[in-house]
Amino acid sequence: MNLKEIIAKLPYEKPFLFVDDLIEVTENGISGTYTFHENHDFYKGHFKNNPVTPGVILTETMAQIGLVSFGIYLMNEAGESIDGIQIALTSTEIDFFKPVFSNEKVLVKSEKDYFRFNKLKCNVEMFNAKEELVCRGKIAGMIAGKTN
């Protein structure tokens, strides 16, 4: 499965798709990028005259790249169905260090903590274009192919 196929299997579409590119994926981790464009609705009113990307959106971006995209890859490698993928986020613990503004590109790196019984837990980090740590933490979820 190539990186574009993983993105195509994601259960999201614009404007709620926060994955532009996947850079690398292995059995132990994944990395990918996203650019937060100024036309996103969540910037309207989120800090007057100085819009900042909400932490929940940064967390969602890390989850889409570092958990869901990675989970699709791992399930495919294990021979599981990835058609109609379903995801249930089970926990997040994120620390924030720097703001992300509109038109900034971020890099998400995720490393597998464990993947068993379709539960994936990852250590995730987000970096800005200056390679500064924006946020990091742990994200876990249950991943399954859709059953009839």
Q: The CATH number of the domain where 54 resides is what?
A: 3.10.129.10
Instruction: Check whether 106 has a pLDDT greater than 90.
Output: yes
Query: Which residues, at least 6 apart from 87, have a Cβ–Cβ distance to it below 8 Å?
Result: 11, 67, 68, 71, 141, 142, 143
Domain that holds residue 110: 3-144
> Lowest mean pLDDT: which of 54-58, 135-139, 142-146?
142-146
Instruction: Check whether 1 has a pLDDT greater than 90.
Output: no
Of the pLDDT bands very low, low, confident and very high (cuts 50, 70, 90), residue 78 is confident
Of the pLDDT bands very low, low, confident and very high (cuts 50, 70, 90), residue 46 is confident
The residues annotated with a catalytic role in the active site are 46
Of the pLDDT bands very low, low, confident and very high (cuts 50, 70, 90), residue 74 is very high
> Lowest mean pLDDT: which of 60-69, 79-88, 135-144?
79-88
Of the pLDDT bands very low, low, confident and very high (cuts 50, 70, 90), residue 147 is low
Mean pLDDT of the residues in the chain: 93
Overall pTM > 0.85: yes
Percent of the chain with pLDDT over 90: 81
Query: Which residues, at least 6 apart from 136, have a Cβ–Cβ distance to it below 8 Å?
Result: 94, 95, 97, 123, 124, 125, 126
Number of domains in the chain: 1
